[in-house]
């Protein structure tokens, strides 16, 4: 791989004797990894990633059953250390401020076990849509997906969160092997402009953190300007102090000498591609001064359905679910969803997803959402239809299936090898295709 000359000189100067080993990694292939989904009790036989509870080395195809059923999330191995460091507890209020496409959010959700509130925000509208569908596939029911900039969110949610992740937009030097195009943006001054944006994002993020709360700041770049120097700046300007990160399996200390010399910076973590099997990451764990409970702004109240809506939703539950869901609900126009605990009112903010989308009220009936197929366990459905390998492929292509014994009108869960992957509409012995057009292959 031909690296920018300035990049080579920079890291020869910084890394000295280690530079040759570091630069040689750019001629090796990228390390691939994935995490299994503990919400689905999914497991995998592939070699474990030592710093990631659910992490494994290897590739999972996008068309595979494990991927389609939301049993796995593909994520570069070193990126998985970010979730390990953030490790939110069930019941906390957590913000992933720069969240798309959702690698870290799904990891945070794995720790939270569907309890508490995970706000996954993304500034870019297209990327926010991808984030939303990835969280749906993973089956998260306690996430709120927003599409706004940090300042707008900060104005509405002062001191609201127990834990915040800022996985910042950066110069992406750790992405060069996976995505050589990332190199085309590199100039000697690129890191300085990224750093300016990182300081702006952190300034807003800290406003949303309760006193005593924890903020994890990470990048996928090696540049000290965006790593230790940002943390040094944050400790000087934002009432944050460094909490030391426990290092395992070749993960290195941060470099105080690459910033202001503050020895606390050694408590940050660097994953170098010549020292661990991964692409490279920087991770820091910071705590806000003081101690206080999270603020309690106006929360969204659960919706009370009108008579027709109650009737249509109850008819769906009776025909298709093993038991009523019995969860707090929210209605956005005609779309019904579960309401995560503590969901705040966010006037003027574009919200793409609240909790688990259950479905849509159409004229005189309730149309269940595809999200149910990967979020609910098969036991939650009245009727589960196991399909063959051939039917699995045909259904995802958009075809109907024949099941002459299924005569009553109901929504069924389709499973392949025991994993739920789609809903279908059983009508007079045929399962009409309900696989979303955007997911068909």
Ligand X SMILES: C[S@@+](CC[C@H](N)C(=O)[O-])C[C@H]1O[C@@H](n2cnc3c(N)ncnc32)[C@H](O)[C@@H]1O
In the complex, which residues of this chain contact ligand X (CB under 6 A)? 98-104, 122-124, 127, 149-150, 167, 169, 197, 201
Catalytic choice (82, 220, 356, 371): 220
Please list, residue by residue across 410-422, b when 16 or more beta carbons sit within 10 angstroms of its beta carbon and e when fewer do.
bbbbbbbeebbbb
> Which three-class secondary structure string do you get for 14-25?
HHHHHHHHHHHH
247 labeled part of a ligand binding site: no
Least distance (Å) between residue 348 CB and ligand X: 17
DSSP 169-230: ----GGGTTT-GGGGGG--TTHHHHHHHHHHHHHHHHHHTEEEEEEEEEEES---GGGTHHH
Strand partners, 400: none
Least distance (Å) between residue 200 CB and ligand X: 7
3-class SS shares of the chain: helix, strand, coil, % to 5 = 35, 25, 40
**Joined tokens for residue 146:** 């927003």
Distance CA 85, CA 52 (A): 10
102 labeled part of a ligand binding site: yes
Least distance (Å) between residue 206 CB and ligand X: 14
- What does residue 347 show for φ and ψ, rounded to 5 degrees? -60, 135
Q: DSSP assignment, residue 7?
A: H
Residue whose structure tokens are 């996954």: 120
212 labeled part of a ligand binding site: no
Nearer to ligand X, 167 or 342 (CB): 167
420 labeled part of a ligand binding site: no
Least distance (Å) between residue 104 CB and ligand X: 4
Nearer to ligand X, 69 or 205 (CB): 205
220 is annotated as an active-site residue: yes
Nearer to ligand X, 65 or 100 (CB): 100
194 labeled part of a ligand binding site: no
DSSP 111-164: HHTT-SEEEEE-SSHHHHHHHHHHHHHHT-SSEEEEE--HHHHHHH-TT-EEEE
167 labeled part of a ligand binding site: yes
Distance CA 275, CA 359 (A): 48
Nearer to ligand X, 163 or 419 (CB): 163
Least distance (Å) between residue 388 CB and ligand X: 34
Nearer to ligand X, 197 or 362 (CB): 197
C-alpha 140, offset from chain centre: 9
Least distance (Å) between residue 170 CB and ligand X: 6
Q: DSSP assignment, residue 74?
A: E
Strands in 381-441 per DSSP E:
384-386, 401-402, 410-416, 419-427, 430-433
100 labeled part of a ligand binding site: yes
267 labeled part of a ligand binding site: no
98 labeled part of a ligand binding site: yes
Least distance (Å) between residue 207 CB and ligand X: 14
Find out whether 202 and 258 touch, Cβ atoms under 8 Å. Answer: no
Distance CA 26, CA 206 (A): 36
Closest CA to 335 of 382, 307, 368, 294: 368
- What does residue 226 show for φ and ψ, rounded to 5 degrees? -105, -5
Find out whether 78 and 58 touch, Cβ atoms under 8 Å. Answer: no
390 labeled part of a ligand binding site: no
Q: DSSP assignment, residue 28?
A: S
Find the distance separating the first CA and the last CA of the chain, reported in whole Å: 34
Least distance (Å) between residue 124 CB and ligand X: 4
The catalytic residues are 220
Residues flagged as binding site: 98-104, 122, 149, 167
Residues flagged as binding site for S-adenosyl-L-methionine: 98-104, 122, 149, 167
């Amino acid at each position: 791989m031909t690296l920018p000359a300035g990049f080579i000189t920079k890291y020869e100067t910084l890394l000295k004797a280690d530079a040759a080993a570091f630069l040689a990694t750019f001629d090796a292939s990228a390390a691939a990894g994935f995490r299994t989904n503990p919400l689905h009790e999914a497991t995998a036989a592939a070699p474990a990633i030592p710093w990631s509870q659910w992490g494994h080395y290897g590739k999972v195809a996008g068309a595979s059953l494990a991927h389609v059923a939301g049993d796995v999330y593909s994520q570069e191995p070193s990126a998985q250390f970010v979730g390990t460091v953030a490790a939110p507890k069930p019941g906390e209020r957590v913000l992933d401020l720069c969240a798309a496409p959702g690698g870290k959010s799904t990891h945070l959700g794995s720790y939270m076990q569907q309890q508490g509130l995970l706000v996954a925000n993304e500034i870019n509208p297209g990327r926010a849509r991808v984030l939303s569908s990835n969280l749906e596939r993973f089956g998260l029911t306690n996430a709120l997906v927003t599409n706004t900039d940090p300042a707008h969110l900060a104005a509405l949610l002062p001191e609201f969160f127990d834990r915040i992740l800022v996985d910042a937009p950066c110069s992406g030097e750790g992405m060069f092997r996976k995505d050589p195009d990332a190199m085309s943006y590199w100039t000697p001054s690129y890191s300085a402009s990224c750093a300016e944006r990182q300081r702006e994002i952190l300034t807003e993020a800290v406003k949303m953190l309760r006193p005593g709360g924890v903020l994890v700041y990470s990048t996928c770049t090696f540049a000290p300007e965006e790593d230790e120097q940002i943390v040094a700046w944050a400790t000087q300007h934002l009432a944050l102090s460094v909490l030391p990160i426990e290092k395992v399996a070749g993960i290195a200390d941060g470099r105080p000498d690459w910033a202001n010399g503050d020895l606390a910076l050694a408590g940050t973590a660097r994953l170098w591609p010549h020292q661990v099997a991964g692409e490279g990451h920087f991770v820091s764990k910071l705590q806000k001064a003081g101690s206080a409970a999270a603020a309690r702004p106006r929360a969204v109240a659960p919706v009370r359905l009108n008579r027709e809506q109650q009737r249509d939703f109850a008819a769906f539950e009776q025909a298709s679910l093993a038991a009523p869901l019995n969860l707090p609900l929210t209605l956005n126009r005609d779309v019904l969803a579960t309401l995560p605990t503590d969901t705040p009112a966010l006037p003027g903010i574009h919200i793409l997803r609240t909790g688990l989308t259950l479905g849509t009220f159409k004229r005189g009936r309730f149309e269940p959402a595809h999200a149910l197929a990967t979020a609910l366990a098969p036991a939650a459905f009245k009727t589960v239809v196991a399909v063959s390998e051939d039917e699995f492929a045909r259904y995802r292509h958009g075809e109907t299936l024949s099941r002459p014994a299924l005569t009553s009108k109901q929504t069924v869960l389709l499973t392949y090898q025991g994993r739920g992957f789609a809903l279908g509409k059983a009508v007079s012995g045929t399962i009409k295709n309900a696989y979303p057009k955007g997911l068909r292959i």
